[in-house]
Structure 1
Amino acid sequence: MADLQLFTHPKNKVAKKAERFFSDRGIRFHAVDVRRKAPTPGELRKWVQAFGVQAVLDKTSKTYLEEGLVYFSAGEEDWIERMCRHPDVINLPLVRCGTELSVGDDPDAWGRFAATLKA
Structure 2
Amino acid sequence: MNIQIFGTNKSFDTKKAQRWFKERGIKFQMIDLKEKGMSRGEFDNVCRALGGWQSLVDENAKDKDTLTLLRFLAPEQQADKLFENQQLIRQPIVRNGRQATVGCCPEVWQTWE
Q: TM-score, normalization: structure 2?
A: 0.84
1:17 is matched by which residue type in structure 2?
A: K
Residue 41 to residue 74, structure 1, CA distance change in 2 (3 Å): farther
Instruction: Report what 2:97 is aligned to.
Output: 98
Report runs of 4+ in structure 1 exceeding 4 Å deviation: none
Equivalent AA in structure 2 for residue 41 of structure 1: R
CA–CA distance in 1 between the matches of 2:109 and 2:69?
Answer: 29
Amino acid of the structure 2 residue aligned with 1:60: N
One-letter code of the match for 1:90?
A: I
Residue 94 of structure 1: how far off its partner (Å) = 1.2
Aligned length in residues: 111
Contact 1:14-1:92 at 8 Å conserved across structures: yes
Query: What is the distance in 1 between the residues matched to 2:69 and 2:9?
Result: 23
Identity %: 31
Q: Which runs of 5+ in 1 are unaligned?
A: none
TM-score (norm 1): 0.80
What is the CA deviation profile of residues 6-46 of structure 1, one whole-angstrom value per residue up to 9, with x for unaligned ones?
A: 11111111111111111111111100001111111221111
2:90/2:103 contact within 8 Å kept: yes
Gaps of 5+ in 2: none
